[in-house]
Chain A
Amino acid sequence: MKLALVGVGAVGSRMVDRILEVEADTGRAFTRGNALVCDIARTPADGFDAVPEDQRVLLGDTHERVTAEGVEGDLELAADVAGADLPEFRRALDSLAIHESDGVLLVADLGSATGSGAGSVLVEELQGLYDEPLYVLGALPADDDGGTAALNAARALRSVVPTADSTLAFDRETWPGDPERDDDPEIRALATRVATLFAAGELDSPVVAENAMDSSDLIRTLEPGGVSSIGYASTDVEPDERGFLGRLLAWFSRSTDDDEATDAAKVKSLVQRAANTRLTIPCEVSSAERALVVLSGPPSELSRRGFESARQWLEAEADTVEILAGDDPRPRSSTLEAVVIFSNVTDVPRIDTLQRRALDVQAAREGEPASDDDADDARADAASETRDADGVDAADSDSGAGDASDDAPLIEDAEAVADDASE
């Protein structure tokens, strides 16, 4: 799937840079450098190797309240700046070949003021500008990132999720790291997942897949919207392309039943590992509405039986019949990789935790204007709920199902907004 990438904020921009780097390192071609990064600061971030100078946009450089440090953690200011500089942003977008892309991926750290504030504004802008699907890759803050980050992220989710065609979440609590570091291994891991997923089906491999996962397959999988989570696993194997004699020897040595059984088991457990180990955001897999799995590696390693039973296992695990499965043969690759995307996962404990933290922070802030008549009561409820939840870990998120009926009208409102956005 050909993507145009738009990085927002320092971390979002760095994530875009890493994705381009992984793309180049693994010989894939799904963005072909079609990327733009933007930030609100006097000084554009350094240390980007993959994004050329002219594809970096500076927003808010004429805004009176923007300092050399950017928006200094002010989400509203970031949103304001992005809104004011939309013409600038649109002009910069002209350098991207978006109509030749199959989709746009906006990348942002939703815990940062810029990622959350400007990100939300730009998501809305992009959604309005193009017919191509718009996805968001959003980093969600870790507990250590503080309450403000949680509030930024919780509010951004409310803007971004209903507007974007799907929001791929990246949970920094599960994937801790220093976002200021250039060589954050966790960001690199995320970039690997994104590249493996979106590069499948691009004609950048000499061998054609039997069941290529084309962009339409990904688009269809992500169609329900909501939040999505990516799983990934890899294992080292011998590449297929190693000279004729080597291939011949390998062919003879692997044609026994035992080896075949091993190959099948290897593939199945790889897919299981991809779905069970650290997802980009931990979630109840069975709450997914759709899923897609791509098996990538040397063609001789792609065991049909293994992949079939892995797909069947996934159908039971994710409790959905909407599963697309494809192969992505890479003769020169020395890794066997499985990448799984769970689309529209609705049971995500980490998001509930962020919301509780956000409510705490919001309640603690002075002079917060009441949003409705019940606000005081609601805030008290929320605060007590937060206290209750404090000692408990994320697992009690099930309480979401117990929503009292008194907030039904609000949900109806929200639904109307979401309906609007999804059409």
Chain B
Amino acid sequence: MKLATIGVGNAGSKIVDRMLEFESRTDRNLCRHVHAINTARTDLAKPDYIPEERRVLIGDTNQKAKGHGVGGDVEIGAEVAKADLDEIRRAFDDVEIHTVDAILVVAGLGGGSGSGGGPVVIDALQEMYDEPVYALGVLPGEYEGGRPALNAARSLQSFVSKVDNFIGFDNDAWRAREQTIEEGYEQMNRELAARLVTLLAAGETDDSDVAENAMDSSDIIRTLDTGGVSSIGYAATQVEDTSEGLLDRWSSDSQRVNRDDGSQATKIKGLVRRAVNSRLTLPGEVSSADRALAVISGPPSEFSRKGIESARQWLEQEADTVEVLVGDDPRENSPRLSAAVLLSNVTEAPRIDQIQNQAVDAQEKIAEQEAVREEQINDLITDDNNDLDPVV
């Protein structure tokens, strides 16, 4: 499909940047429009692939933000985005909406700009366009602490109720080890970008004569139509490099597809199985999914109709739903065969419950501290009998 992709906040912008990187490396063309929207000038300087003129600074005239972020405060994040709504709408003016199939908003839910500003941006988009608006939301890890959990638990409600589908990414599950801060984020974001782009770039041309099992945008839209929270699984394998010329390979490809090689079928089914059993972007109970869709992406010579059929049967059973689509996405020169599986409307995701519990505790703690704040400050600076006078 073809997307307008909008990163809101620091995490969102970085992920969109990595999506563009993955696209350019794998010769895909998913994101026809990109924007990075942020409250911090510093963070907007970071992207390598998002063009300068597509980076929108909001809240620079807001006294609480001044172009320096919102201090991880979801309320200020929302406030700033609302105040600059006109600016956000103006930025979207040049989105040629007829050239895209859907809009994807990417944001981290633990901070302030993405979690607060994201829902405001989504509201504006839903109002302006008929195309479906999806979100990719990054859930903070438990180790990130109480305040991010509270931001996320609150923001999640806004996101899920406003978008046509919310794809979750759990930092806890993807927490990197043994790395520097920079490497850690880079790697997580690259993994996520590979999944998103492999899944959503299927049918980017919607060229029906490419292959009869080709996935197209309407399939993806239909699968995401459930609303709710979704998760993506992914697996990839290297394919053998054939040294034949392009023309030779092309003619032999069509023969091979028809031959339906048994080992290729096994490979494809195995790949889909591996994708589902791999670490999902948001770990959840596969059988609680409402619908499922698998994209097999790679050189057409590796495709197998039988493989697709048996993968579909397996997925139907695993996800416990008859709403399963499996299709391919031919990538002539790809050295990899990969499977991206979308589990749409997964209703059992333990991490979300954990975040909610952590958020409730955090909210109580914050309220307790605020309630005694003034009294404690006064106790500190005043002697027991209030005999010492202020200077002024």
Which of B41, B45, B377 lies in contact with A344, CB distance below 8 A? B377
Residues A378 and B385 in contact, CB atoms below 8 Å apart: yes
Assess the B181–A302 pair: CB atoms within 8 A.
Answer: yes
* B-contacting 9-mer, from A8-16, A49-57, A172-180, A316-324: A316-324
Given contacts A225-B377, A226-B377, whether A214 and B388 have CB atoms under 8 Å apart is: no
Please measure, in the bound complex, the distance between the C-alpha atom of A312 and the C-alpha atom of B369, giving whole angstroms: 19
Interface size class of A (residues with CB under 8 A): 35 or more
Specify which chain B residues have a CB less than 8 angstroms from the CB of A31 in the assembled complex.
none
- A34: Cβ under 8 A from any B Cβ: no
Nearest B residue to A223, CB-CB: B71
* A358-395 contacts to B (CB < 8 Å): 358-359, 362, 371, 374-375, 378-379, 381-382, 385
Measured between beta carbons, the chain A residues less than 8 angstroms from B366 are 321-322
Q: A159-B391, A260-B179 are in contact. Are A224 and B373 (CB under 8 A)?
A: yes
A212-B42, A215-B66 are known contacts. Are A324 and B71 too (CB-CB below 8 A)?
Answer: yes
Determine how close the nearest CB of chain A comes to the CB of B9; give it in whole angstroms: 11
Closest chain B CB from A311 CB (angstroms): 7
The chain A residue with its CB closest to the CB of B364 is A321
Q: How far is the CA of A137 from the CA of B366 in the complex (A)?
A: 26
For the complex, what is the distance from the CA of A226 to the CA of B389, rounded to whole Å? 17
Residue from B39, B64, B379 in contact with A411 in the complex, judged by beta carbons closer than 8 Å = B379
Smallest CB-CB separation from A117: which chain B residue? B391
Question: Inside 8 A of A156's CB, which chain B residues have their CB?
Answer: 391
B221 at the A interface (CB under 8 A): no
CB distance B378 to A415 under 8 Å?
yes
Contacts known (A225-B377, A321-B147, A371-B389); A355 close to B181, Cβ less than 8 A: no
Q: Are A344 and B373 in contact (CB under 8 A)?
A: yes
Q: CA separation between A355 and B73, bound complex, in Å?
A: 36
B392 touches A79 (CB 8 A): yes
Q: CB of A230 within 8 A of chain B?
A: no
Contact residues of A between 313 and 356, Cβ < 8 Å to B: 315, 320-324, 327, 329, 344, 346-348, 351, 355-356
Contact between A321 and B150, CB atoms less than 8 A apart: yes
Contact check, A308 vs B377: say whether CB atoms are below 8 A apart.
no
Q: Is B222 an interface residue (CB 8 A)?
A: no
CA distance A216 to B60 in the complex (A): 12
B252: interface (CB < 8 Å): no
Q: Are A382 and B384 in contact (CB under 8 A)?
A: yes
Chain A, 257-287, CB within 8 A of any chain B CB: 257, 260-261, 263-264, 287
On chain B, the residues within 8 Å of A220 by CB distance are: 70-73
Known contacts A220-B72, A320-B365: A418-B388 contact under CB 8 Å: no
The interface residues of chain B lying within 8 Å CB-to-CB of A302 are 180-182
Please, how many angstroms separate the alpha-carbon atoms of A378 and B384 in the complex?
Answer: 9
Closest chain B CB from A114 CB (angstroms): 11
The CA-CA distance from A124 to B182 in the complex, in Å, is 43
Residues of chain A contacted by B65 (CB below 8 angstroms): 216
**Known A-B contacts A120-B390, A309-B143; A304 and B383 likewise in contact (beta carbons under 8 Å):** no
Q: Is B97 engaged at the interface, CB distance under 8 Å to the other chain?
A: no
Asked if B63 is at the interface of the complex by the 8 Å CB criterion, the answer is: yes
The answer to whether B180 and A382 touch across the interface, beta carbons within 8 angstroms, is no
B374 on the A face (CB < 8 A): yes
- A299 close to B392 (CB less than 8 A): no
Partner of A301, one of B149, B180, B376, B382: B180
Pick from A75, A312, A400: contact of B145, CB below 8 A: A312
User: For B147, B379, B380, which residue has the most chain A Cβ atoms within 10 angstroms?
Assistant: B380
Interface string of B328-359 (1 = CB under 8 A from A): 00000000000000000000000000000000
User: Measured between C-beta atoms, what is the minimum distance from B189 to chain A in Å?
Assistant: 10
CB distance from A365 to the nearest CB of B (A): 12
Asked if A60 lies at the interface with its beta carbon under 8 angstroms from chain B, I say no
Would you call B68 an interface residue if the criterion is a C-beta within 8 Å of the partner chain's C-beta atoms? yes
The 8 A CB mask of B176-213 against A (1 = contact, 0 = none) is 11111111110000000000000000000000000000
19 A-B pairs in the complex with CB atoms less than 8 angstroms apart: A155-B388, A155-B391, A158-B381, A203-B42, A210-B184, A215-B69, A216-B68, A219-B64, A220-B71, A220-B72, A302-B181, A303-B180, A320-B369, A321-B150, A321-B366, A322-B366, A374-B385, A399-B384, A415-B375
Supply 10 further A-B pairs (C-beta < 8 A) apart from A299-B180, A410-B382, A410-B386: A102-B66, A215-B69, A261-B178, A321-B147, A359-B388, A378-B386, A381-B385, A407-B384, A411-B378, A414-B386
- Chain B residues engaging chain A, CB cutoff 8 angstroms: 10, 39-43, 45-46, 63-66, 68-73, 76, 141, 143-147, 149-150, 175-185, 361-362, 365-366, 369-370, 373-392
